[in-house]
Structure 1
């Protein structure tokens, strides 16, 4: 709003009067801030005390846990040393037994079995499942189980190692025995006869028996004792031994990473059961074995678990007491602060509502026209950052110089202020302007009221820029719609059956050529313009649409005053409420030009049909002439040709012995020319027939057809050797007879032009194109042709080779070209002299499914 008195200033007394609420709010905010700070301090202190208490308790528990785990590591290491010593002694014992068995085998193989029995009885029961002897070829020639079949173990790693490893004990990785089916690891020594490898004597150590021995050291149901190969492969395991067989641990284990280490401790989760354990391990030298003993973390910490629980309970109790004390103090402080805030609430409520409102509010002194207060929403909408930029000023700073109707803003403002003072309030639209010059539309609600003897003006404003733009856009859209109707010759109408009122758009008035100012639209005046011959059936169409509640689409004529006839198309539908018709709406389009174009098109089609009929009669006459010509060629040319060939043959038969030298050559040339002329006449008639024959399209298997043609061609010359390749599944929709002619010519040409090729190859394949067409190719490695003359390939009687090289009339490829074109396809050929040729033709793809 503009100022009423731009030259006057607001009185200084107004500002402290209106800012008192803000001062009270400031003092209340300060009290609340101090109270909140005290409560926050108490809460932070409580949290700090609880955190320190809990941290100290957990630190003590962690230190105790670390001591126990360190002791567990040393314990597992001592146990591993002891177990490694026992396993080492056992391996040495097995080595001694192996050397004894080897000596007895070399001395007396026949008496070897009792010796083996004594050795097995001397060992711990079940520790060695059986003993065996393997010859130099890898076949088991003796086993203590008494099985006689020659089991082959030459592919086993332990046998290969003994074969090339020298005279020493070898301990293999676990394998499933091919005799017993149980998991074993083989301890063996080579049999040397005169220094030459002659086999292996071996003891099959049961992995399960070793696992039972290892289980003696288990201290809890989660501890594990393992015998491992140096590369981490399980040899035996005190728990779940069968699951461990064939498993190799990851290379992260220290005894795998560093082969020189003898013993050590490490912590890891078990690869098989994912249980966290502390492992002590010891390498068994000189054997490639490692003993690892893992003590589960849970079993190590089990004795202290009750104590840990009691400690946590005590810590939690102390923390709860601290929280309770801190909470009580915080509640007391908050209650004090709340009482202080309530004392100031009534004073600040109006100011708080004023400031927090999202509606822009501005208060002015009615006498001076100066702004004495505004909220932050008003600053934002008017484009100012601080209230100080607005207070003390006049609404002139955010008003456009001229309003919508061009009136200066100060004149318009005095008018609305006078109404507000008189009526109490007034609402109006106002064109505003921000400091950056942008203008926007606002809806202003101006009120006049008194406060403590002062007459004040307060107004709220709402930004209606978008809605005003939408309104203007709607008006513009209506204008464009009218223009579009005028250009498209389409008008709209609406009929209210209750009042009888009919509304027409401007375009309908133009179509009916009447003046909107003088023509009153009624059903009677409308039908007065409709052609008399169309009125009756239009009445029936309107009634039928109302009864069936279906839309209607009518084409009828208008009779103009000057006698002209116009054609229009009318569409419409009815709207009902229950059984009552409440409204009818529709459109009318001037289709006079379209109707005239349709009539012209009908006349053109009739002329075209007449021309087609005349052309058909001409083609019929031409076909009859062509058939007569073909008969004439067949009869009039063949008769003298047969006479020439017959007399030449008779001359050769009766006087052949008298004809010598050049005369013989002339006679043979006459006979060859007569035969070639006969073939040429036959090919010409065939090509003429194929060009006229009706297409009888059906499903044709070109693969089978090609194979039958090849059989016919190759059957006449059994001495030739040709490599054929015919792709399967070449299915087309075509005339079977005509397609046989195509393949006979193409395959026959390939056969003919490869007659002088030593290793002839002929193929018939297909390639599918993206547009659905299929391309079929006949390819050979025969004589080929010069691409310079490729344009003559499909011309009748044109040949690219001499008659003495290859026979032919030059009609075959021309026939192929006509047949393929009649099927809607294309044919082309490519070649190179001495390297062969390829002829490809396309056909529409076969129907799917």
Structure 2
């Protein structure tokens, strides 16, 4: 078993202390070896110096004794050497090799060979020194690696003094001192290593173990667990991130649950198919139950999706799918009918997306199904209505035509018009209507035509005369209305023509009768009367009798009889007016009702006019009694309608409040629940790249990077959508905003991008303070500056210009770049949500930024527009009232 295999199962809490211990032991070992080598070298150098000094002294003494010829003194000198520490042998040899003096008396007089035989070769150092050639100086050498020194001292008489010194004891004493010192240092080092290990365990490993346990429980799904690690070190930061991750995952899980409920409650059916015969379903949302099916029936194959197609749609739908599979696109839309569980049919709008493998084969099919039965039935009804209109166009009692505004020619006419004008259809389509208009009517007609073309009127009608093919003149009444293009310009003119010749003739015959009946028509449902206070006599028209339900043959009733026909609650008012008339006083108008005892209650408005006469006579009174029952009924109906409308307003207000609460809940779900899984995906994909990146091939790493790019784009899209929805709901403030200061803060925010791309920023900002919503203006400017940096950053000399100036009662703010620009025909499109003019691969973004700008400026009471040319950059303008 290798060391790596043995170390792998160990945790860091054991590896670090072991590593510290090994380092301490290694350091001690190196120090021990070095100190021992130093001690040995020092001891041997000292012993060599001491021996050389001693031998110099003994040489001097021996030379002096040799000159006196005193052998006994030789023995004393040599024997005295035995008193010195470490000297094991000391022999004085004559020239023949006999021992003259020795530390042992047994060696005296013996040849050195005998002495060495008695040693049995045990002392190799002595043998080594005796084999040396004679020298005239003292020689001191070390015997090999052993702590033994040999000395050879020449004597003037030719004799030699041989000395062997064993320095083991001195070396042992020195080494013992070194070992004692190293032992103390080792204990201190080991204690330090142990203390470090304990501190690491307390402040790192134990907290790391707690973090690992918490992460393990989080990974097991216990998202309520928290690490509980405090501090500012890496573990504390990791613990804080883990806690936040657990909170996000917990929120994600709750949000996913709610989102699933939202999907299941929505009218949309989310579905995935496998690419196999019959289109087997691998997933379908619970909203499928709207059509009477359980999702498990399709996913387990008890019902084949292909069997639900309407027989008239099966061949078409499968042929379209085969075409999309073979040639694309991978996102397409279909409309077809599906059979519900109760046997009815629904029209479905199918938005399908295909996912292919590297070989281009379809591996997964996902779709969103929307019930469009109501819209489809409306479309079919519209087609039927168009057919009806075509039939109506050919009705025989009115002439109809479509004409051109350019050359005034007939483009289309019906049979009735041909009959009225007396021309065949082919000839009439070759003629402008001006050629067959009566000369006296042509100029008024052209004046009206010019007013319509110039937009001064929306339509016109007139009586005019046409000249038939046979020369006869026909009187007509025409009505002209324009058919307009989306830009407001006139495409064609639609004209109706009625032959009024007979009507004009009848009108001429009835004119005399109409004059006689004018007063009767004016007094329709209006009775009239007169009263003379002097004679107390009055006159009633026949309508007066009819209004009160009386017979004219009975004559006008008296006052009492008249009052009896009135409602009891209104008699006092009318009676008072009648008394005023008898005295010749002024009388006002009055409203009263009839007596319900005589039938249906009717409402009347009485109007009285006083006509002054001779001074001797009281004024003459003339009056009318108008039946205003329909008006009163309308007023009553209006009152009830208003009450009903007020009730409906209250109900709709409550519904709107509930809808706003639901929208706020949905916004909360999107902002907090939908973002959290994205952050989880982003975090885990980052961990996947960091921890397992070397194990992935290039394609795997590419897939992970695509996932991270998609998560980033999805997060930006959610943020933009939330900003867009918040703009409609939140109340716009009225803050005093210093525009220059706001622009400076935004440029500081974009400083990294400006520096990275080397963008030149030019400011032409006048010091202005606007009173509007600060956050709204900040949002608009941030998006415009971000767009300018994005679309100009790829140029060789990117440059943006930001300007603010006051023009009259308005403040104009502009952001200009020298980027790619755009075609002005797409000007209105760029301010729509999700509208993009460039590919996301070239210029990243969500397509919501300019929509946010437009919405924010609109909410603040301003306006936004742009000017651009392709390749020449773009300038966006914001205008606000000062």
Bigger radius of gyration, 1 or 2?
2
Higher relative contact order (CA 8 A, sep 6+): 1
Structure 1 length-normalised TM: 0.35
Structure 2 length-normalised TM: 0.34
